[in-house]
């Protein structure tokens, strides 16, 4: 989800000077749109919103956001989170230590990691719809981000990626095949998943 805002966001201009809890690359993108990114741990988000120290915040999604009580201090809930398209679990292991493991152990770790990822995503898919209904029942106003904002965010995001790729060989090594794969996937999804999901969600 795109986060919680104390006031409604109707245009890109509404972001200028807005203090938002949003870390990482999402914060870098939002900064290019005029936002002032803030880094806060989870337990400080709701108090900061309530006291007006920040104007907006993103965390995870309905299930986790409801537990933090963010709906009590900011009623405008936006989607989608263009900086975080889906849930993911990461496991990092030192390469030299990994190479020392027996093949069977490597396969066990890979299987456990894959299972953890699939289970986590399935649990969120099951819990988020229920939590979202609960949030709306508690007076939350659900909004899509304005299209012009999404277009502007996409533009500055890819400018940021290209700039980083030009100066960071490690980033470029990941970025270029990712970009190509992303384009291929969108071509496929527009034919398969998107058309089916649009039909199914319409209820007709």
| HSE toward the beta carbon, residue 81, CA cutoff 13 A | 21
Place of tokens 């988020």: 128
Whole-prediction pTM: 0.88
Other beta carbons less than 10 A from residue 63's beta carbon: 18
Residues lower than pLDDT 50 in the chain: none
**Whether 51 contacts 32, CB under 8 Å:** no
**φ, ψ for residue 176, nearest 5 deg:** -65, -45
The burial of 199, by beta-carbon neighbours within 10 Å (0-12 exposed, 13-18 middle, 19 or more buried), is given as exposed
Residue 89, pLDDT score: 86
Residue 6 main-chain phi, psi, to 5 deg: -75, -25
Q: What is the pLDDT of residue 29?
A: 94
What is the spatial distance between Cα 83 and Cα 65, in angstroms, rounded to a whole number?
Answer: 17
At residue 203, the pLDDT reads 73
What is the predicted pLDDT for the residue at 204? Answer: 63
DSSP secondary structure of the chain: --EEESS---SGGGGTT-EEE--HHHHHHHHHTT-EEE---HHHHHHHHHHTS-SEE--S-HHHHHHHTGGGT--EEEE--TT--S--------HHHHHHS-HHHHHHHHHHHHHHHHHHHHHHHHHHHHHHHHHHHTT-EEEEPPHHHHHHHHHHHHHHHHHHHHH-HHHHHHHHHHHHHHHHHHHHHHHTHHHHHHHHHHT-
| Residue-range domain boundaries for the chain | 3-167, 168-204
Q: Phi/psi class of residue 203: alpha, beta or left (left: φ > 0; alpha: ψ in -120 to 50)?
A: left
Query: Which one is the CATH code of 3-167: 3.40.190.10, 3.90.380.10, 3.30.365.10, 3.40.920.10?
Result: 3.40.190.10
Q: For 127-178, how does the pLDDT look when each residue is reduced to its tens digit (9 = 90+)?
A: 999 999 999 999 999 999 999 999 999 999 999 999 999 999 999 999 999 9
pLDDT of residue 153: 95
pLDDT of amino acid 42: 94
């Amino acid at each position: 989800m795109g986060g919680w805002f104390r006031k409604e966001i109707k245009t890109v201009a509404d972001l200028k000077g807005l203090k938002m809890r949003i870390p990482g690359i999402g914060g870098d993108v939002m900064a290019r749109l005029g936002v002032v990114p803030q880094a806060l741990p989870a337990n400080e988000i709701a108090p900061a919103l309530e006291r007006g120290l920040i104007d907006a915040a993103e965390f995870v999604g309905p299930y986790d956001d409801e537990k933090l009580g963010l709906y009590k201090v900011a009623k405008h809930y936006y989607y989608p989170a263009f900086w975080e398209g889906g849930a993911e679990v990461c496991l990092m292991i030192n390469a030299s230590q990994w190479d020392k493991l027996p093949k069977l152990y490597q396969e066990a770790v890979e299987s456990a990691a894959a299972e953890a990822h699939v289970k986590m995503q399935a649990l969120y898919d099951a819990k988020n719809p229920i939590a979202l209904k609960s949030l709306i029942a508690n007076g939350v106003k659900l909004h899509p981000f304005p299209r012009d904002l999404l277009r502007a965010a996409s533009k500055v995001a890819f400018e940021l990626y290209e700039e980083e790729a030009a100066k960071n060989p490690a980033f470029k090594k990941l970025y270029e095949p990712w970009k190509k794969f992303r384009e291929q996937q969108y071509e496929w999804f527009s034919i398969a998943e998107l058309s089916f999901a649009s039909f199914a969600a319409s209820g007709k």
